[in-house]
Chain A
Amino acid sequence: MGRKLLLEHINVPGINTFDVYRSKGGYASVEKAIKTMSPDAIVEEVKKSGLRGRGGAGFPTGMKWSFLAKPEGVARYLVCNADESEPGTFKDRYLMTYIPHLLIEGMIVSSFALGANTSFIYVRGEMMPQIRILEKAIAEAKAKGFLGKNILGSGYDLELYVQPGGGAYICGEETALLESLEGKRGNPRIKPPFPAIAGLYGCPTVVNNVESIAAVVPIINEGGDEYAKLGIGRSTGTKLISAGGNLKKPGVYEIDLGLPVEEFIYSDEYCGGIANGKRLKAVVAGGSSVPILPANLILKTVNNEPRLMSYESLSDGGFVSGTMLGSGGFIAYDEDACIVRNTWNFARFYHHESCGQCSPCREGTGWMEKVLHRLEYGHGKQSDMDLLVDISKKIEGNTICPLGDAAAWPVASAIRHFRDEFEWHVTNASEATTRNYGLAHYADPLPTPEPVAG
């Protein structure tokens, strides 16, 4: 059983209140940071921890912090990205609902490290209950002297505000989020300049995911080196995985990075296997944007090594046979799931959520949705699969923000790995509207690789 750094006290009654949270050692990292550490020393600890952005991109958090410009007399901002909208991902909602003070504590330490005196938590608008929870937690922390003027007598001031979004997936992209926070449409900005130079109101800004900010708390309490001992290789620490779909025990799990995927799916400590005694057909391992893999490739790499829950192992094989850890939105599909229908569902999602700024994404996502719709409803052609791959290639890499790539990858990967299921939807069109393709060969053991001569 792995160590829990974020969710250790999640089941303690009343942990959402300041007093109970404090009695479990809460806000110790604020005391340690503000009283005994310099801002640069905190950044150094986060660098040493190897923490990588938990929102999906996996960029090292400490390095992102060190890029922050610090011109004299210009305000700096920390903005927490709580716009959790990636299909499959629900860890941030869970964390903010049950242990809101962990995020507040992380925000205070991180703001101090970055020299921000005003910080925002941008929460997706649908999460109004979580916004109320966070505002209450902020008021409590402020009443106890952990926020506001002269925190703990240190002379450091910090105001923390919660900002609601308006229901747009694109605002999870950091520059779209900043536009939205400025009261505009969520159109991503052209980079450079990066937010570290010109972000909110044109000032240097860091945008971090909820889980990344929360992870700063144990890193400061125990030291970056201790944190880096957990996990595997460059995937240090623990990660929250949102497990959903056809699993016996869906939910949010904190795992040590490096846990075998097979253990995560089947052990009773985690998901407990596939619901209703069915067999696993496919997995989306890191939120809807990452390539979908058939059961055999998610459990083992092509070299027949066990696939692990880590940034490196999940991407082993590139996009030919691998995927990505992403945001840790883990969706399991059982043998009854229809990959064509699911791919259409994803394509509809990206079409709906495209901001419309770049033509390849605005038009291409709509075309993909239409083609997938006709495949699912029995009007597809054999040439549609190549057409979809062609559209996806024309979107990928040709847009201002990664939403284009995120829309292209699930479609391209579904056709790469499940092409015969798509073809069956064309050859057996009427049958495909009444029954699903089933498990087919998608869980068959992988062929043993030929030994390489010499």
Chain B
Amino acid sequence: MLKVEDTQVPVDFSPELISKFDDVVSRYPQGKQKSGLLPILHLVQAEFGWVSVPAMDKVAAYLNILPIEVYEVASFYTMYFLRPQGKYVLEVCRTSGCCLVGAEKIMDHIEQKLGVKEGEVTADGLFSWRGVECLAACGFGPVLQIGPEYTFYENLTNESVDKLIGDLTAKAKN
């Protein structure tokens, strides 16, 4: 369970990250830098694995907008994690087309394999999983994606999921 103090750990944005922010903001007209909010939150999440309150406050300061303008956006869009996740978050499509070809069974299998419920993190901190709405790959279901690259895995079977989890575990330990 996430404690309040965990959400208050200060974060530092590296000069490399800030230069990526600068690149994003340069796309918009003068004074419209707020347009960079969604892309910048993606960059923050890719760096830290989730979006904490101190990180959002720093984003607000960078964009010269109010913190609430960042919170309301980060909490509206489903891709932003407002609490820590596993290193790999398996996001399985759970909408109609994928369910017709076995998405629900794949989610059951992942839950059993990882031994954690939807939204929880495994003890080694490597994995969490959740069902997400249509990922626009209905012809290749069941599908799942893993951020921050959002690599896509199609036509899932229990075996391919086992292999994927095995490969990621091995990769993390190297």
Chain A interface (Cβ within 8 Å of chain B)? 75, 84-90, 92-93, 118, 124-129, 159, 161, 163-169, 180-186, 201, 242-246, 250-252, 284, 288, 329, 331, 333-334, 337, 341-342, 345-346, 349, 352-353, 355
Whether A163 pairs with B38 at a CB distance below 8 angstroms is yes
Cα(A112)–Cα(B47), bound, Å? 38
Secondary structure type dominating chain A contacts: mixed
Whether B36 pairs with A183 at a CB distance below 8 angstroms is yes
| Stretch of B13-21, B82-90, B111-119, B144-152 lying at the A interface | B144-152
Cα(A218)–Cα(B137), bound, Å? 26
Residues of B within 8 A of A164 (CB): 38-39, 42
Q: Knowing that A90-B136, A182-B34 are A-B contacts, what are 6 other residue pairs whose CB atoms are under 8 Å apart, sorted by A's residue number?
A: A87-B134, A159-B27, A168-B78, A186-B77, A288-B96, A333-B100
Residues of A within 8 A of B76 (CB): 166, 168, 185-186, 355
Measured CB to CB, the closest approach of chain B to A121, in angstroms, equals 12
Whether B35 pairs with A129 at a CB distance below 8 angstroms is no
Measured CB to CB, the closest approach of chain A to B76, in angstroms, equals 4
Say yes or no: is B72 at the interface (Cβ < 8 Å to chain A): yes
B105-159 with Cβ < 8 A to chain A: 132-141, 145, 147-152
Say yes or no: is B95 at the interface (Cβ < 8 Å to chain A): yes
Q: Which of B34, B135, B138 contacts A331 (CB 8 A)?
A: B138
Whether A183 pairs with B35 at a CB distance below 8 angstroms is yes
Q: Give A292's nearest chain B residue, CB to CB.
A: B96
Residues of B within 8 A of A345 (CB): 94-96, 99
Cα(A126)–Cα(B150), bound, Å? 6
Whether A165 pairs with B77 at a CB distance below 8 angstroms is yes
B17-48 with Cβ < 8 A to chain A: 27, 29, 32, 34-39, 41-42
Residue total for B at the interface (Cβ-Cβ under 8 A): 45
Residues of B within 8 A of A342 (CB): 96, 99-100
Known contacts: A163-B38, A345-B99. The answer to whether A184 contacts B73 by CB under 8 A is yes
Measured CB to CB, the closest approach of chain A to B140, in angstroms, equals 7
Residues of A within 8 A of B147 (CB): 128
Q: Which of A88, A92, A182, A245 contacts B35 (CB 8 A)?
A: A182
Cα(A166)–Cα(B41), bound, Å? 9
Whether A250 pairs with B136 at a CB distance below 8 angstroms is no
List the 5 shortest-distance A-B pairs measured between CB atoms, nearest first: A166-B77, A244-B138, A167-B79, A183-B37, A250-B139
Whether B29 pairs with A87 at a CB distance below 8 angstroms is no
Measured CB to CB, the closest approach of chain A to B88, in angstroms, equals 15
Q: Which of A86, A125, A201 contacts B32 (CB 8 A)?
A: A201
Whether A353 pairs with B133 at a CB distance below 8 angstroms is yes
Whether A88 pairs with B97 at a CB distance below 8 angstroms is yes
Say yes or no: is B161 at the interface (Cβ < 8 Å to chain A): no
Can you list 13 A-B pairs with a CB-CB distance of less than 8 A?
Answer: A87-B134, A126-B145, A128-B147, A129-B149, A167-B80, A183-B35, A185-B76, A288-B134, A329-B138, A331-B97, A349-B95, A349-B133, A355-B76
